[in-house]
Chain A
Amino acid sequence: MNYSWLSDPFYQEYLWTGFVNTLWLVAVSATAGLALAVLTALARLRGPRPIAWLASAYVTVIRGTPLLVQLFFFYYGVGRLMEGVPGLRESWFWPIVREPFFFGALTFTLSVGAYSGEIFRGAMQSVPAGELEAGRAFGLSPWQILYRLWLPRAFQIGLPSLTGEMILLLKSVPLVSTIAVMDLLQAANIVRDETFLVYEPLLLITGIYLAIVILLTLVMRTVERSFPGVRATQGRWLPMRRL
Protein backbone atom coordinates (compact mmCIF):
# COMPACT_ATOMS: atom_id res chain seq x y z
CA MET A 1 0.00 0.00 0.00
CA ASN A 2 1.52 3.22 -1.15
CA TYR A 3 -0.22 6.36 -0.01
CA SER A 4 2.61 8.82 -0.58
CA TRP A 5 0.54 10.58 -3.27
CA LEU A 6 -1.82 11.77 -0.53
CA SER A 7 0.73 14.37 0.51
CA ASP A 8 0.75 15.90 -2.99
CA PRO A 9 -1.34 19.11 -2.80
CA PHE A 10 -2.24 18.53 -6.44
CA TYR A 11 -4.15 15.31 -5.64
CA GLN A 12 -5.50 16.73 -2.38
CA GLU A 13 -7.08 19.50 -4.39
CA TYR A 14 -8.76 17.07 -6.80
CA LEU A 15 -10.02 14.84 -4.00
CA TRP A 16 -11.40 17.80 -2.11
CA THR A 17 -13.16 19.15 -5.21
CA GLY A 18 -14.52 15.66 -5.85
CA PHE A 19 -15.79 15.40 -2.28
CA VAL A 20 -17.45 18.81 -2.35
CA ASN A 21 -19.03 18.18 -5.76
CA THR A 22 -20.38 14.82 -4.58
CA LEU A 23 -22.02 16.36 -1.52
CA TRP A 24 -23.43 19.25 -3.55
CA LEU A 25 -24.89 16.91 -6.12
CA VAL A 26 -26.57 14.82 -3.41
CA ALA A 27 -27.88 17.89 -1.60
CA VAL A 28 -29.33 19.53 -4.71
CA SER A 29 -30.82 16.34 -6.13
CA ALA A 30 -32.26 15.20 -2.80
CA THR A 31 -33.96 18.53 -2.10
CA ALA A 32 -35.38 19.05 -5.58
CA GLY A 33 -36.09 15.33 -5.97
CA LEU A 34 -38.09 15.03 -2.75
CA ALA A 35 -40.17 18.06 -3.71
CA LEU A 36 -40.83 16.41 -7.05
CA ALA A 37 -41.63 13.14 -5.27
CA VAL A 38 -44.36 14.79 -3.18
CA LEU A 39 -45.87 16.33 -6.30
CA THR A 40 -45.72 13.00 -8.13
CA ALA A 41 -47.38 11.14 -5.27
CA LEU A 42 -50.10 13.78 -4.97
CA ALA A 43 -50.67 13.77 -8.72
CA ARG A 44 -51.08 10.01 -8.73
CA LEU A 45 -53.40 9.95 -5.70
CA ARG A 46 -55.50 13.06 -6.07
CA GLY A 47 -54.71 14.57 -9.47
CA PRO A 48 -57.21 14.84 -12.32
CA ARG A 49 -57.00 11.84 -14.60
CA PRO A 50 -54.65 13.31 -17.30
CA ILE A 51 -52.22 14.53 -14.65
CA ALA A 52 -52.36 11.24 -12.74
CA TRP A 53 -51.72 9.44 -16.01
CA LEU A 54 -48.80 11.74 -16.81
CA ALA A 55 -47.25 11.18 -13.37
CA SER A 56 -47.56 7.44 -13.76
CA ALA A 57 -45.96 7.57 -17.24
CA TYR A 58 -43.06 9.61 -15.80
CA VAL A 59 -42.53 7.08 -13.03
CA THR A 60 -42.64 4.19 -15.49
CA VAL A 61 -40.15 5.74 -17.89
CA ILE A 62 -37.65 6.84 -15.24
CA ARG A 63 -37.83 3.59 -13.29
CA GLY A 64 -37.80 1.53 -16.45
CA THR A 65 -34.54 2.86 -17.91
CA PRO A 66 -30.97 2.68 -16.58
CA LEU A 67 -29.70 5.76 -14.81
CA LEU A 68 -26.51 5.89 -16.86
CA VAL A 69 -28.53 5.86 -20.08
CA GLN A 70 -30.65 8.71 -18.76
CA LEU A 71 -27.52 10.65 -17.86
CA PHE A 72 -26.11 10.22 -21.37
CA PHE A 73 -29.49 10.99 -22.88
CA PHE A 74 -29.74 14.32 -21.09
CA TYR A 75 -26.10 15.31 -21.36
CA TYR A 76 -25.33 14.32 -24.93
CA GLY A 77 -28.81 14.14 -26.45
CA VAL A 78 -30.10 17.40 -25.06
CA GLY A 79 -26.62 18.86 -25.34
CA ARG A 80 -26.60 18.31 -29.09
CA LEU A 81 -30.06 19.82 -29.38
CA MET A 82 -28.84 22.94 -27.61
CA GLU A 83 -26.44 23.69 -30.45
CA GLY A 84 -29.40 24.52 -32.65
CA VAL A 85 -31.18 26.86 -30.23
CA PRO A 86 -30.58 30.43 -31.42
CA GLY A 87 -29.56 32.94 -28.80
CA LEU A 88 -29.02 30.32 -26.10
CA ARG A 89 -25.32 30.99 -25.82
CA GLU A 90 -25.95 34.66 -25.15
CA SER A 91 -28.67 34.06 -22.57
CA TRP A 92 -28.32 34.00 -18.77
CA PHE A 93 -29.23 30.32 -18.89
CA TRP A 94 -26.09 29.31 -20.79
CA PRO A 95 -23.51 29.42 -17.95
CA ILE A 96 -25.73 26.92 -16.10
CA VAL A 97 -26.57 24.51 -18.89
CA ARG A 98 -23.02 24.31 -20.19
CA GLU A 99 -21.99 22.76 -16.88
CA PRO A 100 -22.18 18.97 -16.71
CA PHE A 101 -23.10 19.40 -13.04
CA PHE A 102 -26.47 20.77 -14.13
CA PHE A 103 -27.25 17.64 -16.13
CA GLY A 104 -26.11 15.37 -13.31
CA ALA A 105 -28.39 17.21 -10.88
CA LEU A 106 -31.27 17.16 -13.38
CA THR A 107 -31.00 13.42 -14.00
CA PHE A 108 -30.70 12.56 -10.32
CA THR A 109 -33.60 14.86 -9.41
CA LEU A 110 -35.85 13.11 -11.91
CA SER A 111 -34.69 9.75 -10.62
CA VAL A 112 -35.30 10.60 -6.96
CA GLY A 113 -38.66 12.11 -7.93
CA ALA A 114 -39.80 8.86 -9.52
CA TYR A 115 -38.48 6.33 -7.00
CA SER A 116 -39.26 8.36 -3.89
CA GLY A 117 -42.55 9.43 -5.45
CA GLU A 118 -43.68 5.82 -5.31
CA ILE A 119 -42.41 5.42 -1.75
CA PHE A 120 -44.27 8.56 -0.84
CA ARG A 121 -47.45 7.39 -2.53
CA GLY A 122 -47.36 4.17 -0.54
CA ALA A 123 -46.61 6.07 2.67
CA MET A 124 -49.49 8.48 2.07
CA GLN A 125 -51.83 5.56 1.52
CA SER A 126 -50.61 3.99 4.75
CA VAL A 127 -51.67 6.95 6.85
CA PRO A 128 -54.76 5.58 8.64
CA ALA A 129 -57.97 7.06 7.26
CA GLY A 130 -59.10 7.70 10.83
CA GLU A 131 -56.36 10.27 11.37
CA LEU A 132 -57.45 12.25 8.35
CA GLU A 133 -61.08 11.96 9.44
CA ALA A 134 -60.07 13.25 12.85
CA GLY A 135 -58.51 16.25 11.16
CA ARG A 136 -61.74 16.88 9.31
CA ALA A 137 -63.70 16.53 12.55
CA PHE A 138 -61.49 19.24 14.07
CA GLY A 139 -62.57 21.51 11.26
CA LEU A 140 -59.26 21.61 9.36
CA SER A 141 -59.50 22.62 5.73
CA PRO A 142 -58.38 20.04 3.11
CA TRP A 143 -55.21 22.08 2.59
CA GLN A 144 -54.46 22.09 6.33
CA ILE A 145 -55.11 18.37 6.51
CA LEU A 146 -52.59 17.91 3.70
CA TYR A 147 -49.70 19.89 5.06
CA ARG A 148 -50.26 19.54 8.78
CA LEU A 149 -51.38 15.95 8.94
CA TRP A 150 -51.14 13.84 5.85
CA LEU A 151 -47.70 14.84 4.50
CA PRO A 152 -45.86 14.86 7.87
CA ARG A 153 -47.34 11.47 8.78
CA ALA A 154 -46.50 10.05 5.35
CA PHE A 155 -42.98 11.42 5.65
CA GLN A 156 -42.60 9.73 9.00
CA ILE A 157 -43.85 6.39 7.69
CA GLY A 158 -41.71 6.56 4.56
CA LEU A 159 -38.57 7.79 6.27
CA PRO A 160 -36.72 4.44 6.57
CA SER A 161 -37.26 3.75 2.86
CA LEU A 162 -36.37 7.33 1.94
CA THR A 163 -33.08 6.96 3.84
CA GLY A 164 -32.35 4.00 1.59
CA GLU A 165 -33.15 6.12 -1.46
CA MET A 166 -30.73 8.83 -0.31
CA ILE A 167 -28.00 6.24 0.13
CA LEU A 168 -28.68 4.92 -3.37
CA LEU A 169 -28.53 8.48 -4.66
CA LEU A 170 -25.13 9.03 -3.05
CA LYS A 171 -23.84 5.86 -4.63
CA SER A 172 -25.14 6.86 -8.06
CA VAL A 173 -22.96 9.94 -8.01
CA PRO A 174 -19.83 8.24 -9.48
CA LEU A 175 -21.80 7.89 -12.72
CA VAL A 176 -21.28 11.60 -13.36
CA SER A 177 -17.57 10.99 -13.81
CA THR A 178 -18.57 9.82 -17.31
CA ILE A 179 -19.90 13.27 -18.17
CA ALA A 180 -16.76 15.03 -17.01
CA VAL A 181 -17.86 16.12 -13.54
CA MET A 182 -14.98 16.07 -11.09
CA ASP A 183 -16.34 13.70 -8.47
CA LEU A 184 -14.52 11.37 -6.08
CA LEU A 185 -14.20 8.60 -8.66
CA GLN A 186 -12.70 10.92 -11.24
CA ALA A 187 -10.23 12.22 -8.69
CA ALA A 188 -9.26 8.62 -7.89
CA ASN A 189 -8.87 7.89 -11.60
CA ILE A 190 -6.49 10.82 -12.00
CA VAL A 191 -4.32 9.39 -9.24
CA ARG A 192 -4.44 5.99 -10.97
CA ASP A 193 -3.51 7.41 -14.38
CA GLU A 194 -0.51 9.25 -13.05
CA THR A 195 0.87 6.99 -10.34
CA PHE A 196 -0.24 3.61 -11.78
CA LEU A 197 -1.67 2.77 -8.37
CA VAL A 198 -5.09 1.19 -8.76
CA TYR A 199 -6.26 0.01 -5.35
CA GLU A 200 -5.03 2.74 -3.04
CA PRO A 201 -7.08 5.62 -4.46
CA LEU A 202 -10.11 3.34 -4.86
CA LEU A 203 -9.82 2.18 -1.25
CA LEU A 204 -9.59 5.77 -0.12
CA ILE A 205 -12.78 6.85 -1.88
CA THR A 206 -14.51 3.65 -0.73
CA GLY A 207 -13.76 4.73 2.82
CA ILE A 208 -15.04 8.23 2.13
CA TYR A 209 -18.31 6.89 0.68
CA LEU A 210 -18.76 4.55 3.62
CA ALA A 211 -18.17 7.39 6.06
CA ILE A 212 -20.75 9.59 4.31
CA VAL A 213 -23.31 6.74 4.32
CA ILE A 214 -22.78 6.06 8.02
CA LEU A 215 -23.12 9.75 8.78
CA LEU A 216 -26.25 10.00 6.65
CA THR A 217 -27.82 6.98 8.36
CA LEU A 218 -27.12 8.42 11.80
CA VAL A 219 -28.63 11.77 10.86
CA MET A 220 -31.72 10.15 9.38
CA ARG A 221 -32.13 7.95 12.46
CA THR A 222 -32.10 11.04 14.63
CA VAL A 223 -34.72 12.61 12.38
CA GLU A 224 -36.84 9.44 12.65
CA ARG A 225 -36.66 9.47 16.41
CA SER A 226 -37.32 13.14 16.79
CA PHE A 227 -40.81 12.99 15.30
CA PRO A 228 -43.08 14.19 18.07
CA GLY A 229 -45.26 11.79 20.00
CA VAL A 230 -45.23 8.75 17.83
CA ARG A 231 -42.91 5.95 16.92
CA ALA A 232 -43.27 4.77 13.40
CA THR A 233 -42.04 1.21 13.45
CA GLN A 234 -42.46 -0.83 16.56
CA GLY A 235 -43.90 -4.00 15.09
CA ARG A 236 -47.34 -2.42 15.18
CA TRP A 237 -49.26 -1.31 12.19
CA LEU A 238 -50.80 1.62 14.02
CA PRO A 239 -48.39 4.06 15.57
CA MET A 240 -48.46 4.23 19.32
CA ARG A 241 -48.59 7.37 21.36
CA ARG A 242 -45.55 7.67 23.54
CA LEU A 243 -46.47 8.32 27.17
Chain B
Amino acid sequence: MKSKLLLVTATLTALMATSFQAQAEDPIQVGISGEPYPPFTYKASSGEWTGFEVDLAFAICEQMGRTCEISPTGWSGIIPSLNDGRIDLIMNSMSITEQRQEVIDFSIPYYFTPGAYVAAADRDLDIPDGLDGLVLGVQAATTNASYARRALRDSGVNIRIYDQAEQVNADLLSGRLDVILADQIAMAQFIEREEASAFEIKDTAPRHEAYGEGIGIGLRQDDDALERDLNAAVRTVIDNGTCGRLSEEYLGTDVCVYE
Protein backbone atom coordinates (compact mmCIF):
# COMPACT_ATOMS: atom_id res chain seq x y z
CA MET B 1 0.00 0.00 0.00
CA LYS B 2 2.74 2.34 1.02
CA SER B 3 4.81 1.47 -1.99
CA LYS B 4 1.86 2.13 -4.25
CA LEU B 5 1.44 5.59 -2.81
CA LEU B 6 5.11 6.26 -3.30
CA LEU B 7 4.82 5.23 -6.91
CA VAL B 8 1.91 7.58 -7.47
CA THR B 9 3.80 10.45 -5.87
CA ALA B 10 6.84 9.69 -7.98
CA THR B 11 4.75 9.64 -11.13
CA LEU B 12 3.08 12.89 -10.21
CA THR B 13 6.40 14.54 -9.52
CA ALA B 14 7.72 13.32 -12.83
CA LEU B 15 4.65 14.63 -14.60
CA MET B 16 4.97 17.99 -12.93
CA ALA B 17 8.62 18.13 -13.85
CA THR B 18 7.82 17.56 -17.52
CA SER B 19 5.01 20.04 -17.60
CA PHE B 20 7.15 22.76 -16.10
CA GLN B 21 10.08 22.07 -18.34
CA ALA B 22 10.75 25.68 -19.14
CA GLN B 23 11.16 26.65 -15.50
CA ALA B 24 14.35 28.30 -14.39
CA GLU B 25 15.80 25.29 -12.59
CA ASP B 26 15.87 23.12 -15.72
CA PRO B 27 19.06 23.33 -17.71
CA ILE B 28 18.83 24.78 -21.19
CA GLN B 29 19.71 22.19 -23.81
CA VAL B 30 22.17 23.81 -26.18
CA GLY B 31 22.06 21.90 -29.46
CA ILE B 32 25.28 21.51 -31.39
CA SER B 33 26.22 19.27 -34.27
CA GLY B 34 27.22 15.78 -33.18
CA GLU B 35 30.03 15.89 -35.70
CA PRO B 36 32.92 17.97 -34.33
CA TYR B 37 33.39 21.34 -36.01
CA PRO B 38 36.71 22.57 -34.70
CA PRO B 39 37.61 25.07 -33.46
CA PHE B 40 33.95 25.99 -32.80
CA THR B 41 32.75 22.76 -31.22
CA TYR B 42 34.93 19.73 -30.64
CA LYS B 43 35.74 17.22 -27.95
CA ALA B 44 38.72 17.84 -25.73
CA SER B 45 40.95 14.91 -24.80
CA SER B 46 38.93 14.62 -21.59
CA GLY B 47 35.84 13.77 -23.65
CA GLU B 48 34.10 17.05 -22.75
CA TRP B 49 32.81 19.31 -25.50
CA THR B 50 34.83 22.48 -25.89
CA GLY B 51 35.54 25.14 -28.50
CA PHE B 52 34.68 28.75 -29.19
CA GLU B 53 30.92 28.28 -29.32
CA VAL B 54 30.78 25.85 -26.36
CA ASP B 55 32.63 28.28 -24.11
CA LEU B 56 30.58 31.17 -25.43
CA ALA B 57 27.35 29.23 -24.76
CA PHE B 58 28.35 28.71 -21.13
CA ALA B 59 29.24 32.38 -20.80
CA ILE B 60 25.85 33.40 -22.21
CA CYS B 61 23.99 30.97 -19.90
CA GLU B 62 25.88 32.28 -16.91
CA GLN B 63 24.85 35.77 -17.91
CA MET B 64 21.22 34.65 -18.05
CA GLY B 65 21.55 32.99 -14.65
CA ARG B 66 20.67 29.60 -16.11
CA THR B 67 22.50 26.32 -16.35
CA CYS B 68 23.17 24.84 -19.73
CA GLU B 69 23.91 21.41 -21.10
CA ILE B 70 25.55 20.69 -24.41
CA SER B 71 23.35 18.40 -26.42
CA PRO B 72 24.93 16.96 -29.58
CA THR B 73 22.45 16.32 -32.39
CA GLY B 74 22.70 15.30 -36.02
CA TRP B 75 23.19 18.50 -38.01
CA SER B 76 20.70 17.71 -40.77
CA GLY B 77 17.89 17.18 -38.25
CA ILE B 78 18.84 19.92 -35.82
CA ILE B 79 15.96 22.28 -36.70
CA PRO B 80 13.26 19.57 -36.21
CA SER B 81 14.98 18.65 -32.91
CA LEU B 82 14.61 22.25 -31.79
CA ASN B 83 10.96 22.49 -32.78
CA ASP B 84 10.23 19.11 -31.12
CA GLY B 85 11.67 20.42 -27.87
CA ARG B 86 14.56 17.98 -27.55
CA ILE B 87 16.90 20.95 -27.57
CA ASP B 88 16.22 24.59 -26.71
CA LEU B 89 18.90 26.42 -28.65
CA ILE B 90 20.99 25.85 -31.75
CA MET B 91 24.43 27.30 -31.42
CA ASN B 92 26.76 25.93 -34.03
CA SER B 93 27.75 28.52 -36.61
CA MET B 94 24.27 28.66 -38.10
CA SER B 95 23.94 31.51 -40.58
CA ILE B 96 20.86 33.65 -40.29
CA THR B 97 18.96 33.09 -43.53
CA GLU B 98 15.46 34.00 -44.63
CA GLN B 99 14.68 30.37 -45.32
CA ARG B 100 15.51 29.34 -41.76
CA GLN B 101 13.70 32.33 -40.31
CA GLU B 102 10.46 30.88 -41.65
CA VAL B 103 10.69 27.98 -39.20
CA ILE B 104 12.82 29.24 -36.30
CA ASP B 105 13.85 32.53 -34.72
CA PHE B 106 17.37 33.79 -34.33
CA SER B 107 19.07 35.81 -31.62
CA ILE B 108 21.04 38.87 -32.64
CA PRO B 109 24.17 37.81 -34.56
CA TYR B 110 27.05 36.98 -32.23
CA TYR B 111 29.75 36.41 -34.77
CA PHE B 112 30.36 37.26 -38.37
CA THR B 113 33.31 36.41 -40.51
CA PRO B 114 33.80 38.77 -43.39
CA GLY B 115 36.19 38.11 -46.21
CA ALA B 116 39.81 38.98 -45.51
CA TYR B 117 42.22 40.26 -48.13
CA VAL B 118 45.60 38.55 -47.99
CA ALA B 119 48.60 39.79 -49.95
CA ALA B 120 52.37 39.89 -49.66
CA ALA B 121 53.41 41.79 -46.54
CA ASP B 122 55.69 44.11 -48.52
CA ARG B 123 52.90 45.17 -50.88
CA ASP B 124 51.20 48.47 -50.17
CA LEU B 125 47.55 47.79 -50.72
CA ASP B 126 44.80 50.36 -50.57
CA ILE B 127 41.43 48.61 -50.78
CA PRO B 128 39.46 48.99 -52.97
CA ASP B 129 41.17 51.83 -54.89
CA GLY B 130 44.55 50.10 -55.13
CA LEU B 131 43.10 46.91 -56.61
CA ASP B 132 43.10 48.32 -60.15
CA GLY B 133 45.10 46.02 -62.43
CA LEU B 134 45.77 43.40 -59.78
CA VAL B 135 44.75 39.74 -59.98
CA LEU B 136 42.42 38.64 -57.19
CA GLY B 137 41.60 35.00 -56.43
CA VAL B 138 38.40 33.69 -54.82
CA GLN B 139 36.78 30.30 -54.37
CA ALA B 140 33.71 29.61 -56.50
CA ALA B 141 30.24 29.46 -54.90
CA THR B 142 31.31 31.28 -51.74
CA THR B 143 30.02 34.52 -50.28
CA ASN B 144 33.43 36.00 -51.01
CA ALA B 145 33.09 35.21 -54.71
CA SER B 146 29.67 36.89 -54.79
CA TYR B 147 31.02 39.89 -52.91
CA ALA B 148 34.04 40.24 -55.22
CA ARG B 149 31.93 40.01 -58.36
CA ARG B 150 29.35 42.49 -57.12
CA ALA B 151 31.22 45.02 -55.05
CA LEU B 152 34.57 45.00 -56.86
CA ARG B 153 33.37 44.92 -60.46
CA ASP B 154 34.19 48.57 -61.05
CA SER B 155 37.53 48.54 -59.25
CA GLY B 156 39.47 47.30 -62.30
CA VAL B 157 40.58 44.17 -60.50
CA ASN B 158 40.92 40.94 -62.48
CA ILE B 159 38.96 38.25 -60.62
CA ARG B 160 39.94 34.59 -60.96
CA ILE B 161 37.57 31.94 -59.70
CA TYR B 162 38.88 28.61 -58.40
CA ASP B 163 37.14 25.39 -57.43
CA GLN B 164 38.98 24.80 -54.17
CA ALA B 165 40.25 27.07 -51.45
CA GLU B 166 43.66 25.41 -51.46
CA GLN B 167 44.09 26.21 -55.16
CA VAL B 168 43.60 29.88 -54.37
CA ASN B 169 46.19 29.70 -51.60
CA ALA B 170 48.66 27.85 -53.85
CA ASP B 171 48.40 30.49 -56.55
CA LEU B 172 48.92 33.28 -54.08
CA LEU B 173 52.09 31.57 -52.87
CA SER B 174 53.35 31.00 -56.42
CA GLY B 175 52.79 34.67 -57.23
CA ARG B 176 50.18 34.15 -59.91
CA LEU B 177 47.68 35.97 -57.73
CA ASP B 178 48.42 39.35 -56.18
CA VAL B 179 45.73 39.20 -53.54
CA ILE B 180 43.08 36.76 -52.36
CA LEU B 181 39.75 37.26 -50.65
CA ALA B 182 38.69 34.41 -48.39
CA ASP B 183 37.10 33.63 -45.04
CA GLN B 184 38.78 35.53 -42.23
CA ILE B 185 39.19 32.53 -39.92
CA ALA B 186 40.66 30.36 -42.67
CA MET B 187 43.03 33.18 -43.60
CA ALA B 188 44.12 33.76 -40.01
CA GLN B 189 45.16 30.11 -39.96
CA PHE B 190 46.67 30.25 -43.46
CA ILE B 191 49.12 33.05 -42.69
CA GLU B 192 50.35 31.08 -39.67
CA ARG B 193 51.87 28.54 -42.07
CA GLU B 194 55.57 28.73 -42.56
CA GLU B 195 55.30 28.92 -46.35
CA ALA B 196 52.92 31.88 -46.01
CA SER B 197 55.12 33.86 -43.61
CA ALA B 198 55.65 36.65 -46.17
CA PHE B 199 51.90 37.26 -46.43
CA GLU B 200 49.51 39.10 -44.18
CA ILE B 201 45.86 40.08 -43.85
CA LYS B 202 45.61 43.55 -45.36
CA ASP B 203 41.99 44.36 -44.72
CA THR B 204 38.57 42.82 -44.27
CA ALA B 205 35.62 43.31 -46.54
CA PRO B 206 32.88 45.59 -45.22
CA ARG B 207 29.46 44.19 -44.39
CA HIS B 208 27.57 43.55 -47.58
CA GLU B 209 24.38 41.74 -48.52
CA ALA B 210 26.49 39.04 -50.18
CA TYR B 211 27.72 37.99 -46.74
CA GLY B 212 24.32 37.78 -45.05
CA GLU B 213 23.65 38.92 -41.50
CA GLY B 214 26.02 36.66 -39.66
CA ILE B 215 25.74 33.79 -37.23
CA GLY B 216 22.93 33.71 -34.69
CA ILE B 217 21.58 31.37 -32.02
CA GLY B 218 18.51 29.50 -33.23
CA LEU B 219 15.47 29.13 -30.97
CA ARG B 220 11.79 28.24 -31.17
CA GLN B 221 9.53 30.96 -32.49
CA ASP B 222 7.24 30.88 -29.42
CA ASP B 223 10.08 31.17 -26.88
CA ASP B 224 9.76 34.95 -26.64
CA ALA B 225 10.91 35.23 -23.04
CA LEU B 226 13.99 33.17 -23.75
CA GLU B 227 14.71 35.24 -26.85
CA ARG B 228 14.61 38.44 -24.82
CA ASP B 229 16.97 37.09 -22.15
CA LEU B 230 19.21 35.57 -24.76
CA ASN B 231 19.61 38.77 -26.78
CA ALA B 232 20.46 40.71 -23.64
CA ALA B 233 22.99 38.09 -22.58
CA VAL B 234 24.60 37.92 -26.03
CA ARG B 235 24.89 41.72 -26.04
CA THR B 236 26.54 41.63 -22.63
CA VAL B 237 29.12 38.92 -23.35
CA ILE B 238 30.07 40.78 -26.51
CA ASP B 239 30.25 44.20 -24.86
CA ASN B 240 32.20 43.01 -21.82
CA GLY B 241 34.84 41.45 -24.02
CA THR B 242 34.21 37.79 -23.15
CA CYS B 243 33.31 36.94 -26.73
CA GLY B 244 36.33 38.75 -28.12
CA ARG B 245 38.66 36.99 -25.70
CA LEU B 246 37.29 33.54 -26.57
CA SER B 247 37.43 34.35 -30.26
CA GLU B 248 41.09 35.35 -30.01
CA GLU B 249 41.80 32.22 -28.00
CA TYR B 250 40.19 29.73 -30.37
CA LEU B 251 40.21 31.44 -33.76
CA GLY B 252 43.22 33.71 -33.54
CA THR B 253 41.11 36.72 -34.50
CA ASP B 254 38.14 38.64 -33.16
CA VAL B 255 35.00 37.82 -35.13
CA CYS B 256 32.36 38.98 -32.61
CA VAL B 257 29.68 41.36 -33.86
CA TYR B 258 29.99 44.71 -32.07
CA GLU B 259 27.34 47.36 -32.42
User: Could you tell me which A residues sit within 8 Å of B by CB distance?
Assistant: 10, 76, 79-80, 82-83, 89, 98, 100, 178-180, 182, 186, 189-190, 193-194
Contacts and interface: CB of A to CB of B under 8 A. Distances in A.
Interface of B: 135, 137, 140-141, 145-146, 149, 153, 160-163, 167, 170-171, 173-176
B173 A83 contact: yes
Contact of A193 (B137, B145, B167): B145
Contact of A76 (B145, B170, B175): B170
A182 B153 CA distance: 15
Given A76-B167, A100-B160, A193-B145, A180 B137 contact: yes
16 contacts: A79-B171, A79-B176, A80-B170, A83-B173, A83-B174, A98-B175, A98-B176, A100-B176, A180-B137, A180-B160, A180-B161, A189-B141, A190-B149, A193-B140, A194-B146, A194-B149
B161 A178 contact: no
Contacts of A76: 167, 170
Contacts of A190: 149, 161
Contacts of B160: 100, 180
Nearest to A76: B170
Contact of A80 (B135, B141, B174): B174
B170 A180 contact: no
Contacts, number: 44
A182 B140 CA distance: 12
A53 B170 CA distance: 36
A179 B170 CA distance: 12
Instruction: Please classify the interface of chain B as helix (H, G, I), strand (E, B), loop, or mixed, using the class held by over half of its residues.
Output: mixed
A44 B162 CA distance: 39
Given A193-B140, A193-B141, A83 B149 contact: no
Identify the 9 closest CB pairs spanning chains A and B, nearest first: A180-B160, A98-B176, A193-B141, A79-B174, A83-B174, A180-B162, A178-B163, A180-B161, A80-B174
A189 B145 CA distance: 12
Nearest to B195: A83
Contacts of B174: 79-80, 82-83
A82 B171 CA distance: 11
Contacts of A178: 163
Nearest to B153: A10
Contacts of A179: 167
A77 B167 CA distance: 12
A40 B176 CA distance: 32
A83 B161 CA distance: 21
B175 to A, nearest CB: 6
Nearest to A89: B175
Nearest to A10: B153
B99 to A, nearest CB: 11
A243 to B, nearest CB: 58
A100 B174 CA distance: 12
Contacts of B149: 10, 190, 194
A83 B175 contact: yes
Nearest to A193: B141
Contacts of A82: 174-175
Contacts of A182: 161
A76 B174 CA distance: 9
A89 B174 CA distance: 10
A107 B167 CA distance: 18
Q: Of residues B145, B160, B173, which shows the largest number of chain A Cβ atoms within 10 Å of its Cβ? A: B160
B134 to A, nearest CB: 12
A8 to B, nearest CB: 12
B157 to A, nearest CB: 14
Q: Of residues A83, A180, A186, A194, which shows the largest number of chain B Cβ atoms within 10 Å of its Cβ? A: A180
A180 B160 CA distance: 5
B28 to A, nearest CB: 35
A173 to B, nearest CB: 16
Nearest to B176: A98
Nearest to B175: A89
Given A193-B140, A193-B141, A194-B146, A79 B170 contact: yes
A186 B145 CA distance: 13
B169 to A, nearest CB: 11
A10 B150 CA distance: 9
